A and B are shown apart, each in its own frame.
Chain A
Amino acid sequence: MYARSRYSPGWGLSWQLWRRHRWGFLADIAWLAALALAANLWPESWRWPRFGQNLELGGLAVFIHLIAAFSYGFEVDLTANKRSGFPTSMFTLPLTTRTLVAWPIELGAAAMTVVWLVIALGISHPCGIEAPLAFPAVVAVAVLMAIQAVSWAPFEFGWARVAVALPTVLAVLFSPLLATLVGFPERLIPVVYLALLPGLFLAAVAGVARARRGDAFDWRWHRAVVQLAARLLPERRRPFASAAQAQLWFECRRHAGLLPLFVAMLLIPIAMILFLGSDRRGDWAKALSILGIALALPVFLAAVVSAGLGKHDFSATKSALPAFLATRPIRAGEFVAAKFKMAAVGTLVTWILTLMLPAAWLLAPGHFETFSKAFAQWARDVSPGKLAAGVALAVVFLPAFTWKKLVDGMFIGLSGRNWVVTANAIVMGSFLCAAIPVGLVLEWLPEYRPLAWRLLPWLVGAAILAKSLAAVFILRALWQSKLVAHRSLQKYLAVWCLVTIALAGSLVAIAPTGSVSVWAALAGAVLLVPLNRLTAAPLALNWDRHR
Chain B
Amino acid sequence: MQIHVSTNDGSPIYLQIVNQVKYLIAAGRLQPNDELPPIRVLAERLLINPNTVARAYRELETAGLVTKRGTAGTYVSATRTPLVKQQRLKILSARIDVLLAEAAQLDVSHDELLALVADRQRILKSEPAAANRNSGATSQ
Q: Would A and B touch once assembled, by the CB under 8 A criterion?
A: no
